[in-house]
Structure 1
């Protein structure tokens, strides 16, 4: 029994919820509880999860499914270093004992295929209280894809509202924020490369919350629906998403009112090398200093408007050096000798197939800046949808 005293209220402004969660999957109910689990439940089909065929699963109250045994742990642990076989749409301290709705589960269909789903709709956090008015609504669906191959399946995470990230026993404040924040992903428990994955934003305070930098309701993966993330399991392996695989091309500053010289980046990703080449052009003049008399920017040759970067990619984050190349700039005087000089460091983090953040540090820290980027196509047509 865990007891934590003290309560304050979080006032949540009215907002439109997401549309990712699907109806159904509610024929069974996990009775109201704190940290409990079901017995083994039938999926209605067989899945090949990293070489082991599974047809049953434990539904755990704290936002996850496990294959090996029930999980009563309420503080989310690192999914990249666990020995547990787990699929976690939102591993955190869900408490349905006193308020919100209990967890439901059952069979149904997804896109015409047999499926098993679990609903965490309007769920509260520890310590559960009717006075809480910030709740979470999310869903996990396992979809039979034996039409593709025996044992193949899809994992679908759906999110409509995420307004808390932690229980108070995991270090949150009374509003369910801060502390050991939620983790999203999966693992087969072996620790072997390629057998685990955590979504960017896991364990980062505020990241997954509505309006956060990695808001679960505002992003998507392998889907045209905001708040929906789809992972494919084929040949006994879950295909870990790398957003850079689909990111080649032009990206621009997301701010429509950006008043600099214009800012864009061209990506060219080499998966076998896990290397991203970036051509960074027309960066804002006021951000690149020191300037010489007359306003000439002191980066490479006078008038140069191009920098390049070669970044190492791990998951959906690319990090590496930024170079200025003299002798090849479009509007700079020609030189007889081309040379590249490192002038800083850059980090690019993709949050979805159509959003990301760039942070750069130039001149030994004299210039540091972060800005949001979107594909050029989305600047031209804000309604364009990527998959």
Structure 2
């Protein structure tokens, strides 16, 4: 049974009672200005502080309640380390350049919304005039990610090339530092599992150790015998795309047996390459969205706020129950999620369970009424 720790007020009352019962005051109550009263408060505070420190030490002595550097130490025993914030990187395209124009490494480039980047290597314009400049965001975090076609501008003019360009494809790889709750969850899963050399759970553990990856699924032999198809999501780093990775599916850059991945998929493929079995063909893929439309009747209250709350409840349901390995979302689960928002309605569609095919994740679709 749990140990009933005393409160500060109960400790103070206990000290007062001890003083009275010890006959120091001849069985009389303490006077309001008695010197023993502040002394009893001081002793009670000291005892309470000692109890608090012992309770803190107990919390640090087990991995599921340890905090800060103690949590890091427990996780390190299982080879789990907190994911640092990562900077986004990609290519910025400048067209209409004079052939042979050079853009030096370390050149400052700014995105249209004010986020700053720096070129990571020398770029030289080709014969047709395009110049592809590799850039890295100056600030670590998911804010450095962006879509292809976003406007960029040079902060210092360079002869032979225009000052404005656009991102050539998505700029990816940016991720915020891992939150302690997510870090603890990964650590506890590692303690609960056994070490392996390529089990299904191992691939999930390797993938979720990559900065920005929040969920992962492993499909053994998904691309044929001897292959592993690994799906993953970036719920925070790619929140602008509903968490779906941005890039091309494929394998690590060091594996010549299949098409090389790009963008977020390449980041994950390269990261797990050092841990995976040497003979496995690991294809890293982004799930595809599978929208589920909902039709209601007699909705009350029928307000935009209520509809937004329902969309959020469905989104939470799909995150908890969805899987790109094939999943079924029952009609009753959808109805329960909608009822949790406090609304009254009649669910017209879906009228039965929804089967989500392999490679897809359920997402909220259109919500209408009759």
For the pair shown, which has the larger CA radius of gyration, 1 or 2? 2
- Answer whether TM exceeds 0.5 for this pair: no
Select the structure that is richer in strand. 1
Q: TM-score, normalised by structure 2?
A: 0.23
TM-score by length of 1: 0.23
